[in-house]
């Protein structure tokens, strides 16, 4: 009991699906944590490559639980993991990734007085200049604007958030399920969100994962956007919701373009909807509009290239960042 008061219990949930080549290394990274008061929950989502047999080797350990289910997707696996968890805090991992040795320790040091702590993975510098905390609405809006990393890993959640959020595992989709879960959880959180600037996680990018085999379509992007809108509805001013929705849609529109050989469709309702929102918000955003108004893949590529320069004119701070990077490179070369 005294140990739990000093070191709260953390449940680490790992959905497993056909990652036999990596899952043992993932498990070992969790079991070797410097923070000892943890449990590992492995949910085998119908693997067919021997991943389950690897996981079973560890189920005899007192802090490891192993469950099997028919292939139902990562959302269902995470929900099962939370339902079986005993911890006051919840963390998620992908079964082909690694948790750095002091990852849990680092993130738990920042858990006092908050219900969410967000960290970064190796090589990610997005939070290095962030404040110590985001206000709850600042964090939620950052997710909606696609300015805060939307993965559920490298984050720490208070278990009560899931108990208070009926929509956390509502959307059983193929991609962007992390983004929707974070929005859902963020919409019920009312405490500050703590920020861990130290890398706690090692993300492994695999071309064979579902993230890289399923391509976004414009219809799919529209569905995602409508769900995101519903999750934040009424939590911000109408103007903020409108502008956030534009950012969210442009992010996924560009993803869809990149994954479909840059073939646009300026007649698609999703594209027309973005333009309509821009007009309603009375924002020019020429860098984005020039992409939306063309369909031919060659024209799309050209507009995407030009938009980078236009965006730096629209947002001078981006130009200053580029200038500062160039200045530093010149100084380094001179010093050599």
Residue-wise pLDDT for 158-168, tens only, equals: 999 999 999 99
* pLDDT score, position 320: 61
* pLDDT score, position 207: 65
* pLDDT score, position 127: 81
* pLDDT score, position 2: 45
Tens-place pLDDT, residues 292-318: 999 999 999 999 999 988 887 777 665
DSSP state letter for 283 = -
Q: Domain 2-210: give its CATH superfamily.
A: Spore Coat Polysaccharide Biosynthesis Protein SpsA; Chain A (3.90.550.10)
Low-confidence spans in the chain with pLDDT less than 50: 1-3
Residues 6+ apart with CB under 8 A from 329: none
| Measured distance CA(267)–CA(22) in Å, rounded | 43
Confidence (pTM): 0.88
* pLDDT score, position 55: 97
| Measured distance CA(288)–CA(302) in Å, rounded | 12
Dihedral sign, CA of 277, 280, 286, 287?
negative
Cα dist. 127→104, 154, 169, 264, 318 in Å?
18, 12, 27, 33, 17
Half-sphere exposure of 104 (CA within 13 A, CB side): 26
CB 255 within 8 A of CB 216: yes
Cα torsion at 148, 140, 128, 94 (round to 10°)? -50
């Amino acid at each position: 009991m005294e140990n739990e008061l000093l070191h709260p219990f953390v449940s680490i949930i790992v959905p497993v699906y056909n990652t036999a080549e990596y899952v043992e290394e993932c498990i070992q990274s969790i079991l070797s944590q410097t923070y000892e008061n943890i449990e590992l929950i492995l949910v085998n989502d119908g693997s067919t490559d021997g991943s389950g047999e690897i996981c079973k080797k560890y189920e005899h350990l007192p802090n490891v639980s192993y469950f099997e289910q028919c292939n139902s997707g990562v959302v269902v696996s995470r929900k099962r993991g939370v339902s079986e968890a005993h911890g006051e805090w919840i963390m998620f991992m992908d079964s082909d990734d690694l948790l750095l040795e002091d990852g849990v320790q680092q993130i738990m040091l920042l858990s006092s007085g908050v219900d969410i702590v967000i960290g970064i993975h190796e090589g990610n510098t997005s939070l290095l200049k962030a404040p110590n905390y985001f206000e709850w609405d600042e964090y939620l809006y950052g997710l909606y604007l696609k300015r805060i990393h939307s993965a559920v890993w490298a984050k720490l959640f208070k278990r009560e958030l899931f108990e208070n959020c009926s929509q956390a595992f509502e959307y059983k989709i193929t991609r962007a399920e992390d983004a929707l879960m974070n929005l859902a959880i963020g919409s019920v959180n009312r405490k500050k969100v703590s920020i861990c600037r130290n890398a706690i996680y090692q993300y492994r990018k695999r071309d064979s994962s579902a993230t890289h085999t399923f391509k976004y379509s414009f219809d799919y992007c529209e569905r995602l956007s409508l769900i995101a809108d519903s999750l934040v509805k009424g939590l911000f001013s109408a103007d903020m919701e409108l502008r956030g929705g534009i950012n969210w849609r442009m992010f996924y529109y560009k993803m869809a373009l990149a994954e479909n050989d840059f073939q646009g469709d300026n007649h698609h309702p999703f594209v027309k909807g973005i333009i309509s929102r821009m007009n309603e918000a009375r924002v020019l955003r020429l860098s984005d509009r020039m992409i939306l108004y063309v369909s031919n893949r060659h024209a799309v590529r050209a507009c995407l290239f030009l938009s980078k320069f236009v965006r730096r004119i629209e947002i001078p701070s981006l130009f200053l960042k580029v200038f500062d990077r160039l200045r530093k490179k010149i100084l380094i070369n001179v010093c050599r």
